[in-house]
């Protein structure tokens, strides 16, 4: 007989395979003898979203570099805004298991629905003053951006959006809904929050490791920090950013 380890979550069941076969010529297994629990260190990899994609070639580059999600901005006032036609061309190069995220700022229900009918969006990101009821009306996973300013109770600001998949924390700038390139005091959000956190706001390869070590977010979101100009991504900067995220994850694992 031989023994076989079969993973079951964080456990391993030990099976004994008998040196005989049943009538269908399959190897026979006894019931599990014992299980061995794996209790070593684990770290969930920080997910990475590259936002403000405007060109298919930039989407392909971000995906090859290891991005988990791509952000498409449907806010006409943004220098990274895309049309539905642009978005469809970008979507054509996106493989399975990479999420397309559509960003809106106080858009009408009709505008959002029109985009969703034309583009294979996997998640909606709301960056304006949308209510929780409005955000949840489109039958897709969604997250709400919370712009963090000095003195804000971040946990209380997140609480009304408890039905979201997560909250995106960005820096506050008066009159600008996002994409400011500015950071905020990450320690304001260190307390336990009711939802998974996507951290944005002024991130780049030079500061993302510190941000991850401070806040331990579920994901990080970068746009200007990986660009050569607004809406045009830089391949080297994308690779450096993703490498910095993975290094921070590895350091967390080693510290456990």
Residues labelled catalytic:
51, 170
Q: What tokens appear for 107 in the block?
A: 């858009």
Contact 213, 46 (CB under 8 A): no
């Amino acid at each position: 007989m031989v023994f076989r380890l079969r993973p079951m979550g964080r456990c391993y069941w030990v099976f004994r395979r008998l040196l005989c076969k049943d009538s269908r010529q399959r190897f026979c297994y006894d019931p599990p003898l014992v299980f061995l629990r794996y209790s070593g260190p684990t770290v969930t990899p920080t997910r990475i979203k590259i936002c403000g994609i405007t060109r298919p070639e930039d989407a392909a580059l971000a995906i090859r570099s290891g991005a988990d999600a791509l952000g498409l901005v449907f806010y006409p006032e943004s220098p990274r805004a895309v049309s539905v036609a642009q978005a469809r061309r970008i979507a054509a190069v996106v493989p399975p298991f990479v999420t397309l995220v559509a960003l809106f700022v106080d858009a009408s229900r009709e505008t959002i629905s029109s985009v969703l009918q034309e583009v294979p969006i996997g998640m909606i990101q709301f960056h304006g003053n949308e209510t929780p009821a409005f955000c949840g009306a489109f039958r897709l996973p969604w997250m709400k951006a919370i712009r963090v300013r000095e003195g804000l109770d971040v946990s209380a600001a997140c609480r009304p959006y408890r039905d979201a998949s997560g909250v995106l924390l960005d820096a506050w700038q008066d009159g600008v809904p996002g994409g400011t390139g500015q950071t905020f005091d990450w320690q304001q959000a260190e307390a336990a929050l009711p939802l998974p956190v996507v951290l944005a706001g002024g991130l780049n390869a030079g500061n993302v490791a510190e941000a991850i070590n401070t806040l331990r977010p579920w994901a990080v979101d970068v746009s200007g920090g990986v660009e050569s100009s607004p809406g045009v991504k830089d391949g080297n900067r994308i690779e450096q950013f993703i490498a910095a995220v993975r290094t921070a994850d590895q350091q967390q694992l080693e510290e456990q």
